[in-house]
Every structure is written in structure tokens, then in C-alpha cells.
Structure 1
Amino acid sequence: MEIQPYLFFNGRCEEAIEFYRSALGAQELLKLRAKDAPPDPARPVAPEHADKILHATLVIGNTHVLMSDGDCRGGNAVHAGFSLSVTADDHASGVKYFNALADGGQITMPFQQTFWTSGFGTLIDRFGVPWMVNVRHEEPTA
């Protein structure tokens, strides 16, 4: 079994794909646009929505992140009740991911040393998606 996040971007999915590609090295696995769907007379696609993304799959690290433009009402989606968590292999990578995701967003806890790791911080990115960036805990060596 796998559990995968499915994010809706209110018409900004294409922009989000490019942002996560730049910030996290995301790879696009699949992208289906409204115009690619079989015609459905009961639910015709408005011409202005033909290029909107019905479904996309990104691979970020070892995780598949599913996404869509959703209902295309515009603005930021409200993502509440969860955070996506990135675990960086080292402090420098943690700083890099945190700063990249925070660009155009809001830092809710600065990236800093904590009692469990050399770096942890939280933010809400420019699309309203909450993130936690954590550096992998290193076990003390004997």
C-alpha cells in the first residue's frame, strides 16, 4: 500500500509543477490536460479550461505527489490539516530546500537547530501548501 498526497491548485498547477521542479528537483511522470479527456456531452470542457491540468504526477525523491488544477476558481488553494515533510540528508541540503520552498511563501518557523536535529523549519509555500523541512537525524558514532 502507498499513501500519496493529492494537491489541488485552483488553476495554478502548471506553475506549481515548475516551482517544485526548480525547488526540489521534481520529475514529471504524467500530465493529463482537460483537452486530452474523451468528450463528455454531459460535462463539456470550456474552451478556456482546455489546457488546464486534470491530473499530474510528480516524483519528488521517492514519493509520488499527485496534483490537479481542480475547479480553476483561481487564487491559492486552502491546504489545512496537514503538512508535507521533506527530510534532507544533510544540513546544507535542508537549507537549500527550505529557502527554495520559502521563496514567495511565508516562513512559519525559521530553519534552525533543534534538540532532535541540526536543522528544522516550517513554511507555507507560494501556493498555500504547508511544509516541514527536517535534516535526517544522525546517530552518534561510538
Structure 2
Amino acid sequence: MAAINPYLTFNGTCEAAFNFYKSVFGGEFPFIGRYKDMPPAEDGKELSPTEGELIMHVSLMIGNTPLMGSDAPGNYEGEMVTGNNVSISINADSRDEANRVFEGLSAGGTVTMPIQDTFWGAYFGMFTDKFGINWMVNFDEVPSNA
């Protein structure tokens, strides 16, 4: 079965928060990506230079578990408020498992990003389930540390 990991969303303070966590837990960031590294949005939304510097994804290994996070620029995410800024990230063992979990858990909920191939090479989707819990489902053809 897939592994699950905590995923934290911040309102512009992700980099500072993860540098703080790193100072406490040690280690290095296996990956850190910024919104400016994304290809242009299909819907024509553009990021300001400040939003481009925000964190799109970062991970920090704490023991054997990656703590993951990102910022929520207004153009790409719903409004971030304390309480909706934690997601459960599922790393599936296969596309079939990713599809099964995505379809099952999102039933009756709200899909915020359909599960699909992404520019960073993963098969990924996001949704809020019918109980208000935020989920991310990910499958990497070649597993990464993040």
C-alpha cells in the first residue's frame, strides 16, 4: 500500500518555516522548487515576481518520513486559512493504485486538480473529500526522496 505524509501549506512563509524545521531536525532539502519554475498556466493566470519566488514544493526528511510543504499564491490555490493548510499526501505504488485511491476518496468531494501527468514527472491530483479533508495523490514512475 501507499505511504502517507503530512503536507503543510503556508501563506508566503513556507521557506522560513522549512528553514526553521531544518534548524531543529537537521538534514537537507531533497527538493525545493519555486512557482517561477512552473510552465505558464493554461488558463493565462500569471504570477507576480514576488509570487514566483514562493515555494511550489519542498520536502525535509524527519527520520524516515518526509515533511512536505508549499506556499499558496492566490492565483493557484484557494484562499489559505489556518485549518485548511494541512493535507494528507499519498504516495501510491502504481498508477492503478493512485487512480483507485483518488476516485474512491474524492467521491462526493471537490476535485481541485484532476489526477494527471505533471510537468515535474509525477502522476498527481488533489481534492477535498466529502468530510472537508484535503488530500494529494501522487505516483512517481521513478521514486524520489520527496
Output the TM-score relative to the length of structure 1: 0.49
Output the TM-score relative to the length of structure 2: 0.48
**Per residue, is there more strand in 1 or in 2?**
2
Whose Rg is larger? 1
Point out which structure has higher relative CO (alpha carbons under 8 A, 6+ apart).
Answer: 2
